[in-house]
Amino acid sequence: MKRLIAGAALFAAALGAFSAEAAEKVTLQLKWVTQAQFAGYYVAKEKGFYEKAGLDVTINPGGPDVAPPQVIAGGGADVIIDWMPSALASREKGVALVNIAQPFKRSGMMLTCRKETGIKTPADFPGKTLGVWFFGNEYPFLAWMAKLGIPTSGGPAGVTVLKQGFNVDPILQKQADCVSTMTYNEYWQVIDGGLKAEDLIVFKYEDEGVATLEDGLYVLEDRLKDPKFVEAMGKFVKASMEGWAWARENPEAAAKIVLDNDATGAQTEAHQIRMMKEVNLLTAGTTGVLDPADYERTVKTIMTGGSDPVITKEPVGAWTHVVTDKM
């Protein structure tokens, strides 16, 4: 009997080792720090959706000093999250990124301004100071200003661009008339900072007709020549979308999963739950399959940059359905 038990234990151990070895390793690089913006991936890992798909997924948080295109180019990730303007700019510069899926259907980007500055419409921007994120996040803003015909070189006819840190201090301290915000994050930091909604006017990129795709999944083009990699990415995207669906149905629980994965301890439960509910509005109604019309709209928007467009020519091969076809 002891031999039978020992044999069964050895078999179980061997089976477990084989399963662990058989799991396909995937490293995901986030665009920013651990927060509800990326809840779908943390949920998929926590709830075993990746494991069930035969994947061993590592999620690496980003931050102000992390550029996902550079990480993947250096071999530090298999798949990254990036905004499409940034990804297309990187592609034109030689990092052959390809969009394989688009979990975010809508843009959460806004420009948030103090009403007391007299800004009522975008026509009131000239002569004002606007806070703008850089590191690839400036491209939608620059395309918008180009569409409006407003120079970004300052002066009474243009706008003064303040290189905004990843906070909202410039509007709280009146260093800028407007700052860049996301519907799910920085806007609420402005509110928490003491300003009221009635003190503010917001301009959503979606409403201004200059929305570009955010938080897509990108891989290097050469990797797509490997059928095994394409198969693994198909499993990864499918399991990730299961994670996003679960997060929409269970926003508070999803936010808590995010908090459990926040090694910095900088996030608060109230803020993450609020963020989760706002992010769910951006992922609702999509299976993760990129809509070519959304891609074309993004390309058209960022190519209207006047003398300094984000990209100078129509991209070729910048997206594919070969992965989502495997879902």
158-200 pLDDT tens trace? 999 999 988 999 999 999 999 999 999 999 999 999 999 999 9
Instruction: Specify the pLDDT at position 120.
Output: 97
109-204 has the same fold as 23-105+213-326: yes
- H helices present in the chain, as ranges: 2-22, 39-46, 49-52, 68-73, 84-92, 139-148, 169-172, 186-192, 227-249, 251-260, 269-283, 292-302
Q: Give the whole-angstrom CA distance, residue 294 versus residue 315.
A: 14
Beta bridge partners of 27: 58
Confidence of residue 306 (pLDDT cuts 50, 70, 90): low
Query: What's the rounded mean pLDDT across residues 31-57?
Result: 98
Quick count: other Cβ atoms within 10 Å of Cβ 157? 11
Instruction: Specify the pLDDT at position 14.
Output: 47
Q: Give the whole-angstrom CA distance, residue 91 versus residue 68.
A: 13
Domain 109-204: which topology?
D-Maltodextrin-Binding Protein; domain 2 (3.40.190)
Mean pLDDT, all residues of the chain: 92
Position with higher pLDDT, 218 vs 306: 218
DSSP state of 89: H
Q: Is 149 exposed, middle or buried (0-12, 13-18, 19+ CB in 10 A)?
A: exposed
pLDDT tens for residues 114-125? 999 999 999 999
- Whether 7 shows a pLDDT value over 60: the answer reads no
CATH H superfamily, domain 23-105+213-326? Periplasmic binding protein-like II (3.40.190.10)
* Domain ranges (residues) in the chain: 23-105+213-326, 109-204
Least confident residue range of 168-182, 184-198, 278-292, 301-315: 301-315
Q: For the whole prediction, is pTM greater than 0.75?
A: yes
> In this structure, what token pair is assigned to residue 184?
């799910």
Going by their DSSP bridges, the two strands 216-220 and 79-82 should be labelled as antiparallel
Instruction: Specify the pLDDT at position 134.
Output: 85
Instruction: Specify the pLDDT at position 260.
Output: 97
- Whether 131 shows a pLDDT value over 50: the answer reads yes
